[in-house]
């Protein structure tokens, strides 16, 4: 008998989430994405490139690979 009440509450919450549309502050979003000096995205991309180039020499799965496949 309790399942119907529980299902109704879940549907109510789902409806509220589905039709909830908060106002978006695009200037705050831009500030957050840009960071303090506006180059946060560029710095992150450079760090990722450096990490990839450093990882090319070391193969973390080399110990697990069969000897004839390298």
Distance between CA atoms of 31 and 37, rounded to whole angstroms? 9
Ordered by start, the domain boundaries in the chain are: 25-56
**Overall pTM > 0.85:** no
pLDDT at 51 over 70: no
pLDDT digits (tens, 9 = 90+) for 53-68: 655 556 666 677 666 5
What is the rounded distance in angstroms from the CA atom of residue 40 to the CA atom of residue 48? 12
Structure tokens at 12: 């109510």
What is the structure's pLDDT at 47?
Answer: 74
Average pLDDT value for residue range 43-62: 65
Name every residue whose Cβ is closer than 8 Å to that of residue 5 and which is 6 or more positions away in sequence: none
- SS3 (DSSP) at 7: helix
């Amino acid at each position: 008998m309790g399942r119907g009440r529980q299902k109704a509450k879940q549907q109510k919450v789902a409806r509220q989430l589905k039709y909830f549309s908060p106002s978006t502050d695009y200037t705050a979003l831009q500030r957050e994405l840009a960071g303090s000096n506006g180059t946060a995205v560029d710095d992150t991309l450079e760090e990722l490139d450096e990490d990839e180039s450093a990882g090319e020499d070391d193969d973390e799965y080399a110990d697990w690979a069969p000897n004839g496949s390298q």
